[in-house]
């Protein structure tokens, strides 16, 4: 029985497994095993197999571990000024400094991000300011619709309107400047108070 083909096959398997280890030690060990073979044909086949395996490994693309994708809204950003925060008051800005609202989620990475916590603060970096709960401004103008609901124009550029479902009747001074305080209320609503009065009016921001 001719055992040479079986010997060559065994050498191919041995050299292939050693070369695929991908380390210098594995290649050196494979070459050493090839050199120890006494059969010329088997030894040559062993070397040829190692060379073929190394060529395949060199041509294979290198893979790296995937890098974590940062949430679009969790990257570092400049801390907004107090004036900028007040200009946002009453607008739909999601979870404030940590996420986007559903209307702002335009990519798969942003989908559902309103439920995510804000990004961790980098050591040495000041934490983002907490959302403001109220603003106070001076009324530059006001108007009433045919149903008695008011619209106020504020000196900060905002415009707020009394909700149609609110039955309160507001009274603004025509001789003195009117100041209003608008505060957050339950279920995402807002309350407006004129000066030092106790009456509350449900309002929404329209600009």
- C-alpha distances (whole Å) from 83 to each of 20, 100, 135, 180 are 63, 21, 11, 17
**pLDDT computed for residue 108 by the predictor:** 67
Q: State the number of CA atoms in the 13 A half-sphere of 149 facing the CB.
A: 13
Task: Return d(Cα 26, Cα 176) in angstroms, integer.
Answer: 90
* Domain coordinates in residue numbering, the chain: 4-59, 82-115, 134-205
At residue 7, the pLDDT reads: 47
pLDDT averaged over 10-residue windows placed end to end, the chain, 207 residues: 46 49 62 80 78 66 51 49 71 53 67 70 79 92 95 96 95 94 91 94 95
- Cα separation, 150 vs 40, in Å, equals 102
């Amino acid at each position: 029985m001719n055992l040479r083909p079986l010997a060559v096959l065994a050498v191919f398997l041995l050299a292939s497994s050693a070369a695929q280890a991908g380390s210098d030690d594995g290649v050196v060990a494979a070459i050493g095993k090839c050199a120890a073979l006494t059969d010329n044909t088997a030894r040559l086949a062993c070397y040829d197999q190692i060379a073929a395996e190394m060529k395949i490994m060199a041509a294979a693309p290198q893979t790296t571990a995937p890098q974590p994708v940062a949430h679009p809204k969790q990257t570092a950003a400049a801390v907004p000024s107090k004036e900028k925060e007040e200009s946002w008051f009453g607008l739909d800005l999601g979870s404030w400094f940590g996420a986007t609202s559903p209307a702002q989620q335009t990519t798969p990475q942003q989908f559902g991000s309103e439920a995510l916590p804000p990004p961790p603060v980098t050591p040495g970096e000041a934490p983002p300011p907490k959302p403001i709960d109220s603003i106070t401004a001076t009324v530059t103008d006001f108007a009433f619709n045919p149903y008695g609901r008011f619209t106020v124009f504020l000196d900060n550029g905002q415009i707020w309107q009394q909700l149609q479902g609110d039955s309160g009747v507001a009274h603004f001074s025509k001789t003195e400047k009117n100041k209003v305080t608008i505060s957050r209320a339950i279920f995402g609503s807002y309350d407006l108070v004129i000066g030092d009065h106790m009456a509350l009016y449900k309002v929404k921001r329209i600009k």
